[in-house]
A and B are shown apart, each in its own frame.
Chain A
């Protein structure tokens, strides 16, 4: 746990009009750590992720990427996002490009790699998610689980310092969830730094180093999976865990 801070959020507040999405959130993400954020829907988890890679602006607070403040005025947002991978709930693959081209695009257009080099790197990333044999397929020719794995490869190709997963399995049919969680668990074992918003409690328990429970726009409690699941400190955490295990069953494996 002594490893260095990759991402640090200090007192983040996000307000849409009258609506407080979250208030005064602080979070440290260390190198190699897998953090799972859980909590009821509408508590600002997804918005928090989008604020961390500057897709949405916080109203106040600071975010640091490897010690450099990225919320400071004059920050090149594109360069920041290049270093923070993001995987969306609904995959959001580029529909007019093949799986390979989806993964290559950031390499050629953002990193400006020569085409051949980009192709090799993209093939590596597709192999990493087990889809080398689907390189020439278009998104509409892939299953949801395959699409999401391509989306993960697309983010990984940029060699991000941290990966953000925004409910990566929520849009998938149950039988396709496993393949995506499997890829994510492997990434965690490879020491990728990950911040995952999910309702997959089995995954959270098995893979996370730390679990953060968010409710109504603030962090209620956080801790190691076993502590949080076995000995939650707050009544709200207990209530949420009880509801969700009831819903999904206790012995869920990633």
Chain B
């Protein structure tokens, strides 16, 4: 136990810098994924033929293949197309694209659940179709999506671990390096696991808090049931 503690404290700055990279990748991936997911969800629900097909193809492709494969395809494939990106950029791109495909489905479901009625009501007072989508439908759809969507930050945070395979210095990569240095793989990975746990716990608490903030008064009982 004391050996583990010693290792943990000795490599804590290293581990924390890895955790910082993990959090950065999570935040970036979530943000990019939200934008992509919103575009794809809108494409699937309200888009024209082209936008709709591109959205469906994107969602199916990135939900239907392993994240690790997507990382490798971008890492080894893009230079062949004459695009050279840093490892961090490749990781950011892969995580964003992957997360976007999942976020699209969360958002699409709740957009559909808001229903045609709200669209009718918006159009009836003279709002355009897109004005109705932005002022009426999305504010409700995003609120409705939060409880299901709240899994995504946690899931993405853990998924970032795969990018250690293209040598992005995040938490998992740091743990592997420490294991190699100390010949104590169990201790090293256990230390990283503890940090993952703390991050997931904090993220979960953040999600619960934002869920409670987004509740529409009078709808509390439904929010509790959801």
Residues of chain A whose beta carbon lies under 8 Å from any beta carbon of chain B: 53, 55, 78-79, 81-83, 85-86, 88, 90, 92-96, 105-106, 109-110, 137-141, 154-155, 158
Residues of chain B whose beta carbon lies under 8 Å from any beta carbon of chain A: 117-118, 120-128, 131, 135-136, 139-140, 143, 216-219
Contact, CB under 8 Å: B117 / A92: yes
Cross-chain contact of B135 among A78, A85, A109, A138 (Cβ < 8 A) = A109
Given contacts A96-B216, A138-B216, contact A82 B140 (CB under 8 A): no
Contact, CB under 8 Å: A106 / B121: no
Given contacts A90-B117, A94-B136, A95-B140, contact A55 B218 (CB under 8 A): no
CB distance from A121 to the nearest CB of B (A): 13
Given contacts A138-B218, A140-B217, A140-B218, contact A110 B140 (CB under 8 A): no
Contact, CB under 8 Å: B216 / A82: no
Given contacts A92-B118, A105-B135, A109-B135, contact A81 B125 (CB under 8 A): yes
- A155 cross-chain contacts in B, Cβ below 8 A: 124-125
Contact, CB under 8 Å: B217 / A138: yes
Given contacts A95-B140, A96-B140, A96-B143, contact A81 B117 (CB under 8 A): no
Given contacts A55-B120, A90-B117, A109-B135, contact A95 B219 (CB under 8 A): yes
- A110 cross-chain contacts in B, Cβ below 8 A: 125-127, 131
Contact, CB under 8 Å: A105 / B123: no
Closest A-chain residue to B138, C-beta based?
A96
Given contacts A92-B118, A94-B118, A109-B135, contact A158 B218 (CB under 8 A): no
Can you list 10 A-B pairs with a CB-CB distance of less than 8 A?
A: A53-B124, A55-B123, A85-B125, A88-B117, A92-B117, A92-B118, A110-B126, A110-B127, A155-B125, A158-B125
Contact, CB under 8 Å: A81 / B216: no
A140 CA / B222 CA spacing, docked (Å): 11
CB distance from B164 to the nearest CB of A (A): 42
Contact, CB under 8 Å: A88 / B121: yes
- B218 cross-chain contacts in A, Cβ below 8 A: 137-141
- A82 cross-chain contacts in B, Cβ below 8 A: 125-126
Contact, CB under 8 Å: B124 / A109: no
The 6 closest A-B pairs by CB, nearest first: A140-B218, A82-B126, A92-B121, A106-B125, A141-B218, A86-B124
Contact, CB under 8 Å: B125 / A154: yes
- A81 cross-chain contacts in B, Cβ below 8 A: 123-126
A137 CA / B140 CA spacing, docked (Å): 17
- A137 cross-chain contacts in B, Cβ below 8 A: 217-218
- B127 cross-chain contacts in A, Cβ below 8 A: 78, 105-106, 109-110
Contact, CB under 8 Å: A96 / B139: yes
Cross-chain contact of A79 among B118, B126, B217, B219 (Cβ < 8 A) = B126
Closest B-chain residue to A81, C-beta based?
B126
- A92 cross-chain contacts in B, Cβ below 8 A: 117-118, 120-121
